[in-house]
Chain A
Amino acid sequence: MNAPDFTLPIADKKPPRVDHVLIAEMVEAGARVLDVGCGDGELLQLLAERRGVDGRGVELQRDKVNACVASGLSVIQGDADRDLDNYPDQAFDYAILSLTIQATRQPKTVLENLLRIGRRAIVSFPNFGHWRVRAGLLFGGRMPMTDNLPDLWYLTPNAHLCTIRDFADLCERVDATVERAVAFNRNDRRLPIKWSLSMQNLFGEKAVFLLQGDKRP
């Protein structure tokens, strides 16, 4: 039996993003996954390679969608605010929103949709409660710019930045159970799990939440 002479090209050989690696740990093998804001498909590729998932993506930028589809991923051009309404309940095992929620117009509606579409939702976001952000505003008197928030205030696509504490509040408000939450520091190291929420909120640059929606009948 000869192997096919083509394979899905791997985007590049640079090591995968730490939050992507974590998500790949969270996702069960062979699961059905929707990645909202999938960008160039890096996470979908990783999940396909490591977990053998049946993955789909949604991406706003046309050129990124084209690149994804041309590399064999199932991706649609669309956006989290507008296109999630169409998906049926529990259509996926996981609905993932990776570093995107802060750029949506209606983060609460988007999160509710994720929890509806997926049996579980995975959300990662830049933490606006990180000490450098706080310090930037306190001492610099300007909108903070960090590795995670690299854009000037008038150029950033981010409309709804939040802190880890804010996001935890939103999860409570939409009756989502936090099954797991991990924060990463500046050096992409996971913060110790035993740290308090306040400490995570102070030293985490970004966070990944694994959520389950309220089991209503």
Chain B
Amino acid sequence: MTAASPDALASVARRQSEIHAPSSPVVHFDAGAPLRLACQQNLAPFSIAYETYGTLNAAKSNAILICHALTADQYVASRHPITGKPGWWDNMVGPGKPIDTDRFYIICSNVLGGCMGSTGPASIDPRTGVPYGLNFPLITLGDMVEAQARLIDHLGIDQLFAVIGGSMGGMQVLEWTSRFKDRVFAAVPIATAAWHSSQNIAFHEVGRQAVMADPAWESGNYYASGKVPRNGLAVARMAAHITYLSEEALHRKFGRTLQDRSEKTFSFSADFQVESYLRHQGSTFVDRFDANSYLYITRALDYFDLRDNAGGVLANAFRGTKTRFCVVSFTSDWLYPTRESRRVVQALNAVAANVSFVEIESDKGHDAFLLDEPTFHATVRGFLNAAALKRGLDTTERPA
């Protein structure tokens, strides 16, 4: 796989265009309103690209912010401009769906550090006129949430009806409830954790080292050459992808089945279906994602520990919260297992918060939150219905 093939060049061009001029709306915050980052640097100017669905009511009380996971983006329920695929949470968000766009105003923004129009390492550094590369400051999930809060301010919304997200999105939900206690009426952190475990960090380090070991990475300055560290980033994605599935799901899907052949070839080509599948995952990922963004966002995840601003005690992060929580985990998720969610629930109980906690039975691993899991969807729908009732949302606008 060479970086110079016409297909690859076309994909680079498509990605470039989404970085600098996204297909979605984007809000620019100018040099007069810098974002103070956890690393003590100021970031300015910066941009946040976002999608919205549904209609904001007159009281601006029906807004739901959806926070995306590591490699997702703002296209939660609309066609992806690069891959052409439906939104990544199309089964959850839409008219009549659990997160109902007939009833709620849905906002989903590309995270700070991302590569779909929000400012990140692939964006142009105004001081130099070329992409930041590794000159982009190290960001945290807290920084991402502060940037989202700017967007919410910009949209004129004081209090979000709900903040919802899975995986890294769930961590942002927790950051939101901890940082902006009065701005979140209800929160749904899904398949997530209050800090990154040693094993989580370890897997990410494997991915980062794979990217950095690719000669095309050029210490992060690959933008000028037009090449991308395809192989490194693909390997990173392959390793990460395994952590999103369960052993059972992999076995059910692939077993030891051979790929388009009846015999082992006694070579290192992709004999097994699972190998072929992972290679495909790696290669399609590279077509839509920036390698440096991957480094920065995985780093932000590794730095995440909600106890940091809470004197080392998780419960302190939630002290005084009035938010209604619905924490969800999945039985076969070994990336952010149920015990991590339970820790969050225990901390919430310790401050007598209003919390529901549901562990969904599924053998599909961490990715279960993206898949069609009826019990999970019923849980989210029911929780939001009850919260909407408490919030006094008039829901009669919902068409029959």
Which residues of A come within 8 Å of B, CB atoms? 1-8, 54, 56, 62, 65-66, 68-78, 83, 86-88, 91-92
Contact = CB atoms under 8 A, between A and B. Distances in A.
A74 B389 contact: no
B383 A76 contact: no
Contact of B349 (A1, A73, A87): A87
20 contacts: A3-B396, A5-B395, A5-B398, A6-B389, A6-B395, A62-B359, A69-B326, A69-B356, A70-B375, A70-B382, A72-B382, A74-B355, A74-B356, A86-B346, A86-B347, A86-B349, A86-B350, A87-B349, A88-B351, A91-B352
A56 B326 CA distance: 12
A2 B360 CA distance: 35
Q: What are the 3 closest A-B residue pairs judged by CB atoms, nearest first?
A: A72-B386, A70-B382, A76-B357
Given A5-B398, A87-B352, A88-B350, A77 B382 contact: no
Given A72-B389, A74-B324, A76-B327, 8 more contacts: A3-B396, A4-B394, A5-B398, A70-B381, A71-B386, A72-B385, A77-B357, A86-B346
A140 B332 CA distance: 47
Contacts of B357: 65, 75-78
Interface string B355-366: 111111100000
B386 A62 contact: no
Nearest to B349: A86
Contacts of B352: 87-88, 91-92
Given A4-B388, A6-B389, A87-B352, A71 B382 contact: yes
A185 B365 CA distance: 49
A30 to B, nearest CB: 14
Interface in B143-196: none
Given A7-B389, A8-B386, A74 B379 contact: no
B358 A65 contact: yes
Contacts of A71: 382, 386
Nearest to B392: A4
A68 B360 CA distance: 13
B345 A87 contact: no
A69 B358 contact: yes
A6 B385 contact: yes
Contacts, number: 87
B310 interface: no
B240 interface: no
A59 to B, nearest CB: 10
Contacts of A87: 349-350, 352
Nearest to B329: A77
A8 B385 CA distance: 8
B326 to A, nearest CB: 7
Given A8-B386, A69-B382, A83-B349, A77 B393 contact: no
Contact of B386 (A73, A76, A83, A88): A73
Interface string B274-305: 00000000000000000000000000000000
B354 interface: yes
Nearest to B327: A76
A115 to B, nearest CB: 16
B191 to A, nearest CB: 15
A5 B236 CA distance: 48
Nearest to A87: B349
A198 to B, nearest CB: 40
Contacts of B349: 76, 83, 86-87
A62 B398 CA distance: 31
Contacts of B355: 56, 74, 76
A70 B378 contact: yes
B363 to A, nearest CB: 14
B95 to A, nearest CB: 15
Interface in B307-331: 324, 326-327
Contacts of A1: 394
Nearest to B352: A91
